Structures are given as structure tokens and as C-alpha cells.
């Protein structure tokens, strides 16, 4: 129980950092997705499907609320990403920074594509050039920041 409360605290801190401090570290108006990184960390370390589902909903809800996302897609997508990560981690070993970075890179790309495609019926259209620039930059930036967060959070989880 103590570990779960610690994870909730970490998620809240990362969410607040996402919408405040990271605004000063944007590259071409793009910043890393700390909440998605926290989902990957939780999915890899907890491994329990129901805990990952609950944390996926919490993280997705927090991302939707903090980003003022009108679609609430993250509350649906994040638990699904968490389940996919748990299933994948049972098939392959995800224990190095490179593999975790590639996993995060792929998830950020897929998440971005799905979210943008879901905006099309609402009439929200982003030019393809801008969309791909943002998608590539966000994915790379998030994947490069991920090893740092893993190194910071890993000792806290293992206590």
C-alpha cells in the first residue's frame, strides 16, 4: 500500500512538472511526456494487470485534466498502453535504457497518431508537415528523457 501511495505521489509530481517547469524546456514548442513515461515505468515494475489498469486510468485522467484535453482520449488509451506493456514485458525482456527508450518512442508515436486521427471527425485538422514535426520531436524528446526518469524513480520503487 505504501508503494502504491508513493507511485501516486510520483505521478502527481510528474504531472505538475509537465504543465509548469517543462514549459521552460520546450524545443520548438514540444516537451517530453512525463506522464506517459510514468505509465511505462509503472507497467514494467508493477506487472499486475488490475493495478496497471487503475494507474493507467489515473494517469490518463490527470493528463486530460492538466492538458485541458477536450476529448478525454488519454483516459481510454493509457490503460490500454499499460496492458500492452505488461503483455509485451512477459514476452520480451525490457531491462535496458535502449529497449525502454524504443518502447516509449513507439508508444508516443502511436499515441500521437491515434489522438490526432480522433480529432479529424471533430474538424480539428493539423497540417501533415507540422503534425509529423511535432510527432517526431515529441517522441524523440520523450525517449531521451525517459532514462533519466527511470534512474530517478527506480530506487524509490524498489524500497
The structural domain count of the chain equals: 1
Question: At 75, which helix (H) or strand (E)?
Answer: helix 74-91
Percentage with pLDDT > 70 across the chain? 96
Q: Which of 3-17, 51-65, 107-121 has the lowest mean pLDDT?
A: 107-121
Phi and psi at 41, nearest 5°, equal -60, -50
Host domain of residue 116: 2-23+30-158
8-56 confidence digits (pLDDT tens): 999 999 999 999 999 999 988 899 999 999 999 999 988 688 999 999 9
pLDDT at 147 over 70: yes
Amino acid at each position: 500500500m505504501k508503494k502504491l501511495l508513493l507511485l501516486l505521489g510520483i505521478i502527481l509530481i510528474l504531472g505538475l512538472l509537465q504543465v509548469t517547469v517543462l514549459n521552460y524546456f520546450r524545443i520548438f514548442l514540444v516537451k517530453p511526456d512525463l506522464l506517459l513515461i510514468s505509465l511505462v515505468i509503472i507497467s514494467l515494475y508493477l506487472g499486475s494487470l488490475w493495478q496497471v489498469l487503475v494507474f493507467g486510468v489515473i494517469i490518463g485522467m490527470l493528463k486530460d485534466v492538466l492538458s485541458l484535453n477536450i476529448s478525454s482520449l488519454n483516459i481510454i488509451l493509457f490503460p490500454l498502453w499499460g496492458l500492452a506493456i505488461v503483455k509485451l514485458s512477459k514476452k520480451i525482456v525490457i531491462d535496458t535504457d535502449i529497449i525502454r527508450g524504443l518502447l516509449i518512442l513507439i508508444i508516443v508515436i502511436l499515441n500521437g497518431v491515434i489522438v490526432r486521427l480522433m480529432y479529424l471527425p471533430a474538424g480539428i485538422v493539423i497540417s501533415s508537415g507540422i503534425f509529423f514535426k511535432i510527432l517526431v520531436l515529441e517522441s524523440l524528446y520523450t525517449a531521451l528523457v525517459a532514462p533519466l526518469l527511470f534512474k530517478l524513480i527506480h530506487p524509490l520503487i524498489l524500497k
